[in-house]
Amino acid sequence: MRKLKLQVQMSIDGFIGGPNGELDWLTCPWDTALEGYVQQLTDPVDGIVLGRKLAEGFIPHWAAVAANAADPDHAAGQKFTVTPKVVFSRTLRESAWPNTVLATGDLTAEINRLKAQPGQDIMAYGGATFVSALIRAGLIDEYHLFLNPVAIGRGLPIFQELDARLDLELVQSTAFACGIVVQHYVPRRA
């Protein structure tokens, strides 16, 4: 069965965006070691799942990067553009993006259907609502939390609406020169 991995940027106080989704607190630029870590993380990925809100910026951004061979993130842009994507939405009726399909049904059923298909890992990207729903449903197999060296005080959390305690096991913690610490966790299964 395929794994669903979550890759998400967070402040050290647990927010993935400011109160209105602001991302001006993200650590940039990344160092080459962190870029290498992300490449290793995404190389075995052959599917991406996104919430609609993030998809509206994510897909066009990476398509533009992929189209510009001079962009330093060109390889990442190509990876994110050619990898098949599933956008979860309750409002869209058709995909506006190439290589992208919509999922409008039950989140758990749709994710489990994707996990049961042949292939490699699936990466989840999304905003607080989508990511929180994945976590609450117990669908994430690996957490890759990119902790930025900043506290923003208030914002959009992803662990606030849990129905029960979520026990995680630390697989690896890696500090990078740019100040980001990546915490890799897996759910502790009973």
Structure tokens at 47: 């599917």
Please tell me the total count of domains within the chain: 1
Structure confidence by residue, pLDDT tens digits, 37-70? 999 999 999 999 999 988 888 888 888 888 998 8
The pLDDT assigned to 71 comes to 81
CATH number at residue 56: 3.40.430.10
Structure tokens at 137: 């449903």
The pLDDT assigned to 95 comes to 84
E-only strand ranges, the chain: 4-11, 15-17, 45-51, 85-88, 100-103, 121-125, 142-148, 156-157, 168-175, 181-187
Q: Which domain holds residue 180?
A: 4-187
Structure confidence by residue, pLDDT tens digits, 142-180? 999 999 999 999 999 999 889 899 999 999 999 999 999
Structure tokens at 41: 């993380």
Residue the block writes with tokens 């630029």: 29
Output the pTM of the full model.
0.93
Q: Evaluate whether 63 touches 85 at the Cβ level (below 8 Å).
A: no
Percentage of residues in the chain having pLDDT higher than 90: 77
Residue 74 has pLDDT above 70, yes or no: yes
Structure tokens at 64: 């533009």
